[in-house]
Each structure stands twice: as structure tokens, then as C-alpha cells.
Amino acid sequence: TMDCLFWLMCFGLCSSFWSESQGQLIRIPMQFQASFMASRRQQIAGRSSLLAKYNVIGGPDVALRSSGATETLDNRLNLEYAGPVSIGTPGQPFNMLFDTGSANLWVPSAECSAKNLACQRHRRYNSSASASFVPDGRRFAIAYGTGSLSGRLAQDTVTIGQLVVRNQTFGMAMHEPGDTFIDTNFAGIVGLGFRSIAEEKIVPLFENMCEQQLVDQCLFSFYLKRNGSQKKGGELLFGGVDATKFTGSLTYVPLTHVGYWQFEMDGVEIGGTMISHHRRAIADTGTSLLAAPPREYLIINSLLGGLPTSNNEYLLNCSGIDKLPEIVFIIGGQRFRLQPGDYVVHASDDDGTALCLSAFTLMDAEFWILGDVFIGRYYTAFDVGGRRIGFAPSA
């Protein structure tokens, strides 16, 4: 049964589980599923969800949208990184996506419909089994590319590693849209953006960690492996940075808007030619893609020799990848380079045909989204207290 499989997986994880306390830093390795080729359909669905998340279907400005533990990350298709969280007393375990592009925490509810396949295929939160559950009563809804995820809010204890966050408000999802979450390796999402973009202005999990003084620094950092194994997808460190996971020093830049992790990028070069100047950018661990404004999207994919399709994607010649140019993002005066192996996505079509796709997708707005294609190459520190973000080459 699914339950038996889940507990067998948990046993395997626990056998490889390690923790190391450094003051208020607690390290927990993140899970990883075996790499396999992404499907074209998943790439298209990912882009649709990305656009819905940033509310740019019609192109509004993102800045106007109102609306110490280490987690080991699970990498599936290099598209999503997830790690373990437990909710309730006693704790109910979930594998969760850690998403800096949103700010709400939600998990499937045990009260969801039997027709809700995404809910039925994942662990479900049972409020009646938790001694620390407190009902909230409010409804919530979050837009995704294929519809809205909705349910009711609740309050309970959330545990990550040895960090115990009390009285955390979260969503119990009763309806999950379309097939968006059916085959994901995560049950729900932990939003790591700021409260100003949270539905119902709920205090996000990490802000509660800071307020409850559970971490030494009000800062978390991501180390993502783009080609990891089932057990080694990277690391999410709550409460500080791990200098062994990057080389040199972190380049910090201030946030230009506190909501998403938004900052100003000096420019973008391709093959030595500057194609973009002083653009806003957002670091988002919840997407695998690099989303570019219309002009830059067209220029980059044209210079890569891409063949446009009706799905706003570009097909690349798989036999010519080694000849593609280096692409450089200039941030805080420093040059952050991506090689073809970083920005080419190997995928399969519905008939099994192998494809090479550009990771640069279209954002119908005048800002960039730097997803896991970039963060997988560069260690990223999200300094909540300092209202800044830092990057350094991953070790």
C-alpha cells in the first residue's frame, strides 16, 4: 500500500539521517529522487504555474502585487527540490517543496475528496490526530496555472529538524487544481517569501522562526545540486550559511521590494554582448526555469539558434550544445556565468523523442525570474533580517 511504501521510505531516510548542532544551526540532509528525463508536458505546465504565481498572465507589475536548521533537498527531474517537515503533535511527516517565490505553507487535508487524485497520492494532514491543532475557520485559495488550490486555514506545531515552530498558521488543502500536483515528489509547499505576498497576510514559517528566536541569524541559504542522486539533492540551511558549500565570498545586493526576493541586476551578457541593463530580478527556488522579459527572451533564444514553437519554448540542436555561448548575469558588479550544460534542458516528447529545450522561458513582464537553473550553480543566501540576497559559486 501507499502507506507502507511511505514508512519504508521514511525508514530509509532515517537510516541515512544525520544532524549536527552548531549553536542554533541544525543540519538535516535533504532527500533526492533518481534523475530521469523531464517531459515536454511538464515543462509547459511549469511555465503556466510560474506565470500564475507572479500574476503576470495579463502583465501587471510584480512589485504591485498585493496579495538554524538544514533541510536536505530532494531533486526530481532537476525541477523541484523538497525536504521533510512534520506538522502536529505527534508529528505527521510530509515531503515539502521549499519555495522562495511564495509565502504560504499548505499541505493536503485528510478531508479532501476521493476524486482529488493529487491529495490521495500524497500524505494528508489529519487534524483530529494532532493534540496541538487549533482551528482557524478562514478559507484560503492560491492561484496556480491550472486553477486554484483551496481549503481552510488551521494552526499547529511545525517541526523541521530540531526546530519546533509553535502556533504556525497553514492551509489544509481540500481542492488541488487539475493535474498540477499529482505526480510531484512533494505533498505541499513551504513558502519562504515575505508576509506581504502571503494569502491572508499570514506570518510565513521562517519569519515565525525568527520571532520565536529559534535561529541564530534571521537568514536561510540554499545549496542545490542540479544533477544529484536520490539522497543528495542539496541543502537548505536555516539560521546561517555554510562556507564549505561555496567558493570565494558571497556577493550581497539589497532587496528592491520586500515581498518576493527581488533585487536589481546590473545586466546580462551572451557571448560577450550586453543584451540587458538594470533589470529587476527575483530569486525563486520554486521554479526550475529562467524567465526573461520579452525582448531578452527573443534575443537570447535567437542567438542560441533555437526553433520557436507554439508553446513559447525554443528547441535547440542537441548535437550542437557544446558550441553554444556562455551567458553571464552581472549582479553587484560581479559576473555569474552559466554554461550550455546549465541552461539546456534535456526532455522527452509525448512519443518518447529526446529533445533539447532552452531553459529561458517568456515572462510577460519587465523583470527576470532566476530559478533553479541559476541557484543550482550559485549558492544563495536569503538574508531576511538584512533585507538582502547574496550569491557565490557553489563548491
> Which of 239, 241, 236 lies closest to 23 in space, CA to CA?
239
Q: How far is CA 177 from CA 80, 116, 202, in A?
A: 18, 9, 22
| Displacement of CA 249 from its chain's centroid (Å) | 24
- C-alpha 229/C-alpha 216 separation (Å) is 30
- C-alpha 337/C-alpha 325 separation (Å) is 10
**Residue 136 among the catalytic residues:** no
> Which of 156, 176, 153, 222 lies closest to 380 in space, CA to CA?
222
- C-alpha 81/C-alpha 79 separation (Å) is 7
Query: At 273, which helix (H) or strand (E)?
Result: strand 273-283
Options 74, 284, 372, 383, the catalytic residue: 284
User: Which residue bears the cell 502583465?
Assistant: 59
**Residue 284 among the catalytic residues:** yes
Query: At 209, which helix (H) or strand (E)?
Result: helix 205-211
Options 3, 61, 74, 99, the catalytic residue: 99
Which residue numbers are catalytic? 99, 284
